[in-house]
Structure 1
């Protein structure tokens, strides 16, 4: 990170969560309230559990359900030192917890074992006080699955997300190998910076990538500290609303509706929307409307004039570009 002052730039180095006095529980609470930081605009997630104890007395940090109906396990460590100091590897700990979630067969079982206790713990964050925690959990979970198109799919597989400010090479090597063998595991860096008294975070998705070769640690070579090229990363990233505005497939002033809602906002030139006189990001607006932890922004944001989701408009334009490039 650089601070720009006139024609001069000053490098700002990251700090560790330990130096800031942050505990793992602090990062856990930050993500519980702002899971969109690691869920991307292309995924919806509903947080359903925190510090869930399994039969072997392990505790998983955060538990969610995603728009595919799969249970997502989110495991957090502060810094690289915390990862390297563990007797049990970070990724294997997460795999053990994920294996216990594979035994959950029905949405009602998820509500009974995990979601209802979570709602009970944070009851003040939920409406419908007349409902029991189980009734409310069942309603919210079923609505989420149905609206996400996952009503007939539930927990066919489990996903794992590992979060830390930095990862050691052994963990990255193991996660890269697991991904290449169809285990859905992601690594996100939350990198803290301190500027005066304020703390800033940059978020970097490290894995999965298209090509894992840079992360494999061999027996004969020193551990690789290379990062994947920006080209490799960019192929995985779908264009955002700012790019769609540059393309001209949507325009400033267009009306954006929330899917299945009457609520709407006016698209601004910076990609945010103006709703009831307030400027707000698409993700935050939709998140508040649906009451989910994160929302598939481009699926649930509907371009009023065309009646198409932003994801449809984006896909059609990308296919058009591909056809033109192949001519």
Structure 2
């Protein structure tokens, strides 16, 4: 179909089709660079992120995938580009799809790391992928067994079109996107349309297959089921996920008047992303609008928003391997009441030692609990400092900074065990 310009007098003028070759536009140097920055242009209806460019990390092959992408269903997407005729593209793309079909999540992270470095981005590769897939902290990450293919070219011949239609009928997911250049007053206009399958038909053709794949992923997925029991004074919170434990502790610290700055400083390893915050007493919707953040990584529900120092705060859900260190750091900010954290369904016996009238315990979550005459002692950090002095061991780590409660507790327990012989 032609592209037209409508004049003020409502007459139509054809904008002639040109070619990338005649305009000196090359696949990798120009077209590929433009599409990687706007990958949605050739993936209509399917949210997609670019994992790698010119990917070829496989044994025994010297060819490279133009753009290797990932969609929201954790399916890898092979994108192949031709600036003119797309003849035989499908055969090459199928070979590439077969070669990457066994890619593991950690390999995808490594590929994305190299890509981010190549474009000068400082984003964290694994977190970028997990955020795109909307995976919670601790949730296992795995790629789908299915691989999608997107072929983008100015024209597709009958042989290729027939082949793609037949392959789709056999259960593959190949899409042809036509990119036709037009020149208007020195400006380059691109007419980009998915031609196989047509967007309306694509939804019908792949909906059932994608639903079945999604159900299979749900059935086989193994989430992190570790739960904790948090006790703050006489309040007991049972069956909490780790991220909810730190939320309740931060809420307690704020209720006791601990400042936002103090909490943020104690959790400096989080990189300043402890809170989603804005001035005023806001609702969830208002907070999102004010910050321009979707809030997907924060406890944004109205009932869970915190308020302090004239601000509305949503606590982060994403703590990764810093979770237990962060919990210890917040516990150290709370002077009273007594706090205890235990794994709800422990799978191994806790590490318990006794010294100086205290019972020091480290459970499988590495949380340190100190009891004296059966009563939980809080805060634990001052007691650990005293015990460390009695044991003649240092309280600083290799960087010269004081260890957090979990680390110092582990060192104290180790020293007591060594002393006992």
Specify if TM > 0.5: yes
Q: 2:71 and 2:287 mapped to 1: Cα distance?
A: 24
1:4 equivalent in alignment to 2:6: yes
2:35 pairs with 1:31 = yes
State the Cα distance separating 1:234 from its structure 2 match. 10
TM-score normalized by the length of structure 1: 0.58
Give the 3 Å change call, closer, same or farther, for CA 59–234 of structure 1 in structure 2: closer
Call closer, same or farther: CA 1:102–1:44 in 2, change over 3 Å. Answer: same
1:95 alignment counterpart: 94
Q: Does 1:115 align with 2:117?
A: no
Query: Which of 118, 121, 130 is 1:142 aligned to?
Result: 130
In our comparison, the structure showing a higher alpha carbon Rg is 2
After the TM superposition, which residues 1-327 of structure 1 pair with which residues of structure 2 at under 5 Å, given as runs?
1-5=3-7, 6-25=9-28, 26-40=30-44, 42-53=45-56, 54-55=58-59, 56-80=61-85, 83-84=86-87, 89-104=88-103, 106-112=104-110, 114-123=111-120, 125-127=121-123, 136-147=124-135, 153-209=142-198, 262-264=287-289
- Tell whether the 8 Å contact from 2:17 to 2:182 is kept in structure 1 after alignment: yes
Contact in 1 for aligned 2:105/2:141 (Cα 8 Å): no
* Offset of residue 15 of structure 1: 0.8
Question: Could you report, residue by residue, the CA deviation over 1:259-284 in whole angstroms, capped at 9, with x for unpaired residues?
Answer: 9994338xxxxxxxxx98xxxxxxxx
TM-score, normalisation: structure 2? 0.46
Q: Cα distance 1:109–1:235, how it changes in 2: closer, same or farther (>3 A)?
A: closer
Q: Deviations over 1:233-277 (max 9, x none)?
A: 8988xxxxxxxxxxxxxxxxxxxxxx9994338xxxxxxxxx98x
| SS of the residue 1:264 aligns to | helix
CA separation of 1:264/1:95 partners in 2, compared to 1, >3 Å: closer, same or farther? same
- The question of whether the paired residues in 2 share the 8 Å contact of 1:2 and 1:10 is answered with yes
Instruction: Give the structure 1 partner of residue 326 of structure 2.
Output: none
Distance apart, 1:142 and its partner CA: 2.0
Task: Rate the CA distance shift 1:7–1:234 in 2: closer, same or farther, 3 A.
Answer: farther
Structure 1 gaps of 5+ residues are 128-135, 211-230, 237-258, 266-274, 277-284, 291-303, 305-327
Alpha-carbon distance in 2 for matches of 1:118, 1:152: 20
Check the 8 A contact 2:177/2:194 in 1, yes or no: yes
Distance 1:174 1:50, change over 3 A: same
What whole-Å deviation, never above 9, does each CA across 1:130-166 have from its counterpart, x for those lacking one? xxxxxx2122112222359x96552221000000111
Q: Provide closer, same or farther for how the CA distance between residues 30 and 161 of structure 1 changes in structure 2, counting only shifts above 3 A.
A: same
User: What root-mean-square deviation, in Å, do the aligned CA atoms of Structure 1 and Structure 2 show?
Assistant: 3.3
